[in-house]
Structure 1
Amino acid sequence: MSEDLDWETLDAEIAYTCPGFDVVHEDVRLPDGTETDFDFLREGDSVVVLPVTADGEVVVIEEWRQAVKRVNRGLPAGSMEAEDDDPAAAVDRELREETGYEAEEVRHLYTAEPANGYADSVFHYFLAEGCEPSATQELDFNESIRVETTTFDDLLADVRSGEVRDGRSVVGIMYYALFER
């Protein structure tokens, strides 16, 4: 019985927009009748890919992340775009663009709302198997990415040691380690 917890949106507007996300301002009515406002980040759906080569190596990327001022090591990921008819299509595109690899088979692992208290972000996690370096890396103008491969066990050890700190990547790696291996 969720209706006793539901908020009613009275009005909404985009307070700020930039490439990648919007900040939405809403006027809302709480279940007890109180009227207030609420702001959240509108990012939408993204895919996070655990790409595995035919010989069992995991394809990982190193990418500069300006917000934390360091190189981030993790899994390829990216936003779904208008032409992506489903998340699996976005997986193929993001994997090819960020790494130059293409997968023989792609399968959904898990879907998460990583920060639903202040963002509408949805991450669709996929396992991409049989990955081969058969495409050309096509980075966005603001991406600086280096591609490498590693064993899953080494990647998992890097999560445990804190070397891999990207939350999107950590969730996908841990999910695979706990439920799919």
Structure 2
Amino acid sequence: MGNETYRPFDPWRPSPVKENGRKEIFNSHYFNIDHVNLESAASGTFDRYVLHGNNGDTVGVLAVTDDGMVPLVEQYRIPTHRWTLEIPGGHPATPTERPSEVAERKLREEAGYEAKELVQFTRFIDEPSFSSQYTSLFLATSLSQVERAVIGPESPRSDVRLFTPEEAVRLIINGTIVDAKTIIAILRLNNGLLKSIKG
């Protein structure tokens, strides 16, 4: 066998399953859940549950200070009962809030910075096996410090810590940074993201 594939990858080729019905069974501030009934030639009928984010993409902001430091926010995460280090990020507050506006707001509220330059550099599906939710990642540069907001009841005493990109990569390797959007953003930064965007 050679190294050639049988065909180019086509994400939009015909579905192997037929959707027979869908019903929303849960709705919250951040997301809703659909119960979906499906059918396939191999398995017959079966059920799945699909999570949808409300109001559009979640957002993450990779900020880089003028001296090359990356601010990471301490967050206490209830589902895993642990503190994390994350780039600023979050959900739209309304259906009309654009991803770039969410990025500006979260950078200001969580990290205490405003950016003169804000560029989206990637978009990914959070967990495609059970969710349709996308996350958009932005690079923020030419920063100025502003007053932070209170993040929320989960992290009443959160702090912002500054790391070099190399230090942040080491925190990924040793398992300190476990948040997916933060890992993706930092590895892109370490792979020449600033040069590729700024030419």
Give the TM bin, normalised by the shorter chain. 0.7 to 0.9
Hey, what's the Cα distance between the residues in 1 that align with 2:132 and 2:14? 21
TM value normalised by structure 1: 0.87
After TM superposition, where is structure 1 displaced by more than 4 Å over at least 4 residues in a row? none
- Offset at residue 112 of structure 1 (A): 0.7
Go from structure 1 to structure 2 and tell me whether the alpha carbon gap of 1:9 and 1:20 turns closer, same or farther (over 3 Å shift). Answer: same
Contact 1:4 1:31 in 2 (8 A): no
Q: Structure 2: which amino acid aligns with 1:91?
A: A
Q: Are residue 95 (structure 1) and residue 107 (structure 2) matched?
A: yes
Contact 1:100 1:138 in 2 (8 A): no
- Show the counterpart of 2:116: 104
Structure 1, unaligned runs of 5 or more = none
**Higher RCO (CA < 8 A, seq sep 6+):** 1
| 1:10-62 Cα shifts (integer Å, max 9, x gaps) | 32222223332222101223366933322122225111111111222111101
Moved more, 1-10 or 149-158: 1-10
Go from structure 1 to structure 2 and tell me whether the alpha carbon gap of 1:146 and 1:167 turns closer, same or farther (over 3 Å shift). Answer: same
User: Based on CA coordinates, which of the two structures has the bigger radius of gyration?
Assistant: 2
Q: Structure 1: which amino acid aligns with 2:185?
A: G
CA RMSD, 1 decimal: 2.3
- Show the counterpart of 1:20: 30
Structure 1 segment 128-167 matched on structure 2, within 5 A: 128-144=140-156, 145-167=158-180
- Show the counterpart of 2:183: 170
Indicate the SS of the match to 1:89: helix
Hey, what's the Cα distance between the residues in 1 that align with 2:109 and 2:35? 33
Contact 2:78 2:154 in 1 (8 A): no
Moved more, 40-49 or 82-91: 82-91
Indicate the SS of the match to 2:159: strand
Indicate the SS of the match to 1:155: helix
Q: Are residue 113 (structure 1) and residue 125 (structure 2) matched?
A: yes
Structure 1 segment 32-111 matched on structure 2, within 5 A: 34-43=44-53, 44-82=56-94, 84-111=96-123
Matched residue count = 181
Structure 2, unaligned runs of 5 or more = 1-9, 195-199
Go from structure 1 to structure 2 and tell me whether the alpha carbon gap of 1:25 and 1:83 turns closer, same or farther (over 3 Å shift). Answer: closer
